[in-house]
Amino acid sequence: MTYGLANGPTMIAAVDQDLICAIATPPGQGGIGVVRISGIGAKKVAETLCAKPLKPRKAVYCEFTHQNERLDDGIALWFPQPHSFTGEEVVELQGHGGPVVQQRLLTALCAAGARIARPGEFSERAFHNGKLDLAQAEGIADLIASTSVAAARAALNTLKGTFSARVNEIKDNLVSLRVQLEAAIDFPDEDIEILEQAGVVEKLRSLAEQLQQTLATADQGRLLNNGIQVALIGSPNVGKSSLLNALVGEDAAIVTDIPGTTRDLLKIDLLINGLPIRLVDTAGIRSGVDKVEQQGVARARAQMTEVDLVLLVVAAPDLQRSQMENLVAEVQNQALAQNLEPPKILIVANKVDLVDQSVHIPAHANVAVSALTGQGLDDLRAAIQKQVGFGQDNAEFTARTRHIEALKIAAVQIFRAQQGIEKGLATELVAEELTHAQHHLGSITGELTADELLGKIFSEFCIGK
Ligand SMILES: Nc1nc2c(ncn2[C@@H]2O[C@H](COP(=O)(O)OP(=O)(O)OP(=O)(O)O)[C@@H](O)[C@H]2O)c(=O)[nH]1
Ligand SMILES: [Mg+2]
């Protein structure tokens, strides 16, 4: 396995510098369309199209011409190396935003020696050239994909390096601890005293705390970034589809008083208190039904283990404890059978408008609502948010599942180092735990990230990014 090293004081990076081009604006029609060119010779190739000399960072108006045919007109912007997004020589051609006109520009550029960029290749080059680290590059993708103001704010912080700075701070503390441990290795007879004098145990404890805090913030950022999947599960006619409609505020799902109305899964994206949610309506669970409904029920059951949170809907007028318990057991058994962690569950008693308001909804339902009148919907939103542990204000930066995994592994290794010292383990072994922790933290910013993982991360970006 080879490692790509970035962002160090001296750059060691085997990066392609061949000329790449791509449309940087979204597909479709628009007032302006930008074609980006990066690599050695970008200026020269662009000048053949523009038939004019370009000036550094100055907009130059030109007619883009190829083989004596005018393709478009617009402005060309030249960013000399290294002061560009990729750190290479970059030219942006800003013409009209139409798929054919932009495609013709690409064809002309390829005829002049460029090639079409792979998805994420511009960001990948920016990373290899030390313009941004891996978490920051992922922040760009998160910012572009953000679906709420809170997510956009947090992603911008990631892009600006807030998350990386936290990780680097932990890593720096960890490195200085390692230095102290390694100093003790050279004096095996006095190692315990050396470690005690240096306060290594306390420093490890405070490092573990620092890591836990970052992990908690990153986990909020991951929720904000990825959102969660929530399924409405329950018997037929309890009002699952009505609840979906009430939560999304539109008549998306068919509602009738005939049990077994919903068969297909219906997935709708919405925001609940800033948290992106994919809400899934499912067929009512029952047996002995026709072939079509059986398929719907099977799909509903499959959802039980595919989502983060299950809203178990029951009808308040005929709320039976045994019915709820059976449903909860069914969700848990589905997960158990597949060796999966069971999803979180909220029991929602619907149709409270039909019960005498003085009647206490049994304590075993978490929330009481009416999809018809809207009663209790705010409580339901708050309960969803609470159940997944999301607080919009705590999401300072966006993070991804791979970051959380790396932080968790580093936390375990620091914990093992703590235990190692307490149990008098050889200092070499304790230092080794810290080295592993350092590598995992380094994988977040891409300082030590396997090439194939880098390739995978960037390939998920879109073309032109
Ligand atoms: N009074 C009252 N009626 C409701 C409420 N929610 C749903 N209903 C009615 O209950 C019936 C069933 O509603 P649906 O939303 O189709 O129920 P469902 O759980 O999706 O049913 P299936 O798709 O068959 O599994 C309809 O007649 C709704 O108008 C409510 O809060 N109060
Ligand atoms: Mg339904």
The mean pLDDT value for 144-148 works out to 88
**Token pair belonging to 78:** 């030249």
Q: How far is the CA of 189 from the centre of ligand 2 (A)?
A: 72
Domain residue spans in the chain? 21-120, 169-436
Query: What is residue 1's predicted lDDT score, i.e. its pLDDT?
Result: 31
Mean pLDDT of 19-45: 94
Cβ(238) to ligand 1 under 6 A?
A: yes
Say if CB 347 and CB 314 are below 8 A apart: yes
Matching CATH number, 21-120, of 3.30.70.100, 3.40.50.300, 2.102.10.10, 3.30.1360.120: 3.30.1360.120
H-assigned helices in 119-266: 121-128, 134-145, 149-160, 162-185, 191-197, 200-226, 240-248
- Does residue 433 sit in helix, strand or coil? helix
CB 308 within 8 A of CB 179: no
Label residue 358 by pLDDT band (50, 70, 90).
Answer: low
Strand partners, 75: 61, 94
Question: Using one digit for the tens of pLDDT, what is the confidence trace for 160-210?
Answer: 999 999 999 999 999 989 888 887 777 666 666 666 666 888 899 999 999
Ligand 1 atom with the shortest distance to the CA of 238: 19
Of 35 and 389, more confident? 35
Smallest Cα–Cα separation from 182: which of 433, 352, 454, 464?
433
Given a cut of 50, is residue 13 above it in pLDDT?
no
Range 104-116 average pLDDT: 95
Of 3.40.50.300, 3.40.920.10, 3.10.310.50, 3.40.50.12780, the CATH number of 169-436 is 3.40.50.300
Q: Are the beta carbons of 2 and 97 closer than 8 angstroms? A: no
CA atoms within 13 A on the CB side of 29: 0
Task: Residue 133: name the closest of 433, 457, 436 by CA.
Answer: 457
Least confident of 9-13, 69-73, 373-377: 9-13
When pLDDT is averaged across residues 280-291 and rounded to a whole number, the result is: 93
Which residue has the CA at smallest separation from atom 7 of ligand 1? 239
Q: Does residue 255 line the site of ligand 1, with CB under 6 A? A: yes
Determine the distance separating the centroid of ligand 1 and the alpha carbon of 307, expressed in angstroms: 22
- pLDDT > 60? residue 6: no
Q: Indicate if ligand 1 lies below 6 Å from the C-beta of 320.
A: no
pLDDT digits (tens, 9 = 90+) for 364-374: 789 999 999 99
The Cα 430–Cα 260 span in angstroms is 60
Q: Which residue has the tokens 């628009």?
A: 30
pLDDT of 195 reads 66
* Mean pLDDT across 95-115: 95
- Cα(315) to centroid of ligand 1, in Å? 9
pLDDT digits 0-9 by tens, 393-411? 778 999 999 999 999 999 9
Q: Is 41 in the pocket of ligand 1 (CB under 6 A)?
A: no
Residue 363 reports pLDDT greater than 90:
no
What residue owns the CA closest to ligand 1's atom 9?
A: 239
Residue with tokens 């919907």: 377
Q: What's the gap in Å between 326 CA and the centre of ligand 1?
A: 21
In the prediction, which pLDDT does 180 show?
Answer: 83
Name the token pair of 157. 């912080």
Distance, in Å, from the CA atom of 361 to the CA atom of 369, rounded to the nearest integer, reads: 10
Could you read off the pLDDT of 202-248 as tens digits, one per residue?
Answer: 899 999 999 999 999 999 999 999 899 999 999 999 999 999 999 99
Average pLDDT, the chain: 89
Distance 253 CA to ligand 1 centre (A): 11
- Predicted confidence at residue 172, as pLDDT, reads 93
Instruction: Give the span between the Cα atoms of 329 and 345, in whole angstroms.
Output: 11
Smallest CA separation from ligand 1 atom 30, residue: 351
CA of 245 to the centre of ligand 1 (A): 11
* Contact 312 CB / ligand 1 (< 6 Å): no
Contact 279, 248 (CB under 8 A): yes
